Structure 1
């Protein structure tokens, strides 16, 4: 039976393009590391181990970082009931359900595929939203799982994570060990730092462009599945307004998961920053939902 989350051809094209371009960058990056470190086995073991860890344990890492835990039907009957209804309506496997014990109102989906996915909501979100608004948010996150863009973002973000780690490693090695290094070693660290920084910048830009589109695609899929674009729009306004009132220092830890969140933990304050954001602006998302309401012949 075909899922009610209809395939999004534009999203698929963007995901394939980003993975292809990042793949080329990844190959070049590994080749550069091999040439610099002169150890094929070492590079392959390190890179391979990090990739496998991020792919297979991304859900556990995310839940741990967000202080979340899986909940049973008995522990969260209403939440499970809503997820059950949406999965039946979308004709897709039900993911694990988790709750994060933080006040920041948000939600995210993670996992390497639909059979190993986790849908997580925060206590702050559950406390603030009405049932129909929560349904819209959950449908949004389930759309990410159905379209496999959670797995794509997880894999694609690996290159940026690796490059970022190498930049820090090279920087601190030069900072604390510079006097003990000969010129050749220092030059090698400088090249590694430069290559890693370039790779990080490329992956950063590609992932941001993909992430912004995937959020609009998930909004649309959720609105069409539930038939209530206005409820999702209301949830967006509530969540964005609530996050804006939470102290910035309380949001910094969560910021690294922005690409996976329903709305970003920290807002971008300038037009340039918005260009590099993981999410479209609130107004753009609301305008897109208003357009869907018109398409469906709904008002408000």
Structure 2
């Protein structure tokens, strides 16, 4: 299923580039746009994880300098029958975490310094189990490419906005018509990016929550962690936080501060819904004992 979602994202990126290229430069513009989109898709497949980690200044750690964190990840990967991912710590006081990579053999898990400070060991295990569930479900590539796709669409939107303003100042009727189209693209393309992020994010979070619950056997660990993380994200915004990669985190790094459009454009399920589902899973696990 995730293979089809990833293919859909790549095709969407290519079609958007080709459409804009064709509008601006006709057939030649379409050809240039096609080559650019193909190159971006190839680049995204191999390097999207590295770009995201670099954006957040993630620092690689191992057993020698992060023994406790390494031990938890190692224990969980053995239970989940997964390869050991690379582990990163983000120098950021706001607690959060994400997983990235193109497959379980090329995966990375990143947590902020703030998360390690405010969560206890059980809660940290719940969060890491959630991220490893993303790895296990093969949806880390989808999330990484979605971040690159959203960034590319934002770049195109800025380009269209500049083109629209320049066209308006041109004065001709045709130039004015082109300007209106370009400005419309500038408005609609970021909305398209948000819709793409929403389409892949909410379902992934529920699946990863469920996977974490069964991997640890303690859904309440993750529920407790999410409560704390959500509380912080509603009060503080992460440094270098990017709307294009917000869907990758376990909780939205912008919290409710920039989520004014409500559930329609929310990249994550509501915390109350996630906790309610985890409480149901807790009862199921207890009944199965």
State the TM-score, normalizing by the size of structure 1. 0.83
- Paired residues in the alignment total 283
CA displacement 1:25-65 (0-9 Å, x = unmatched): 44543442343212144212322333333332222221222
State the TM-score, normalizing by the size of structure 2. 0.86
Write out aligned runs for 1:233-248 (5 A).
233-246=223-236
Partner of 2:72: 82
112-121 or 27-36: bigger deviation:
27-36
Q: CA deviation at 1:88?
A: 0.4
Partner of 1:260: 248
Q: CA deviation at 1:220?
A: 0.6
User: Do 1:236 and 1:282's aligned partners in 2 also have CA atoms closer than 8 Å?
Assistant: yes
C-alpha separation between the residues in 2 aligned to 1:24 and 1:53?
Answer: 14
C-alpha separation between the residues in 2 aligned to 1:259 and 1:273?
Answer: 15
C-alpha separation between the residues in 1 aligned to 2:12 and 2:34?
Answer: 16
Q: CA RMSD in A?
A: 2.8
Write out aligned runs for 1:20-169 (5 A).
22=9, 25-26=12-13, 28-36=15-23, 37-38=25-26, 39=28, 40-169=30-159
Please point out which of 183, 186, 205 is paired with 2:195.
205
38-47 or 178-187: bigger deviation:
178-187
Partner of 2:160: 170
C-alpha separation between the residues in 1 aligned to 2:175 and 2:98?
Answer: 43
Q: CA deviation at 1:101?
A: 0.8
C-alpha separation between the residues in 1 aligned to 2:138 and 2:176?
Answer: 42
User: Do 2:101 and 2:140's aligned partners in 1 also have CA atoms closer than 8 Å?
Assistant: yes
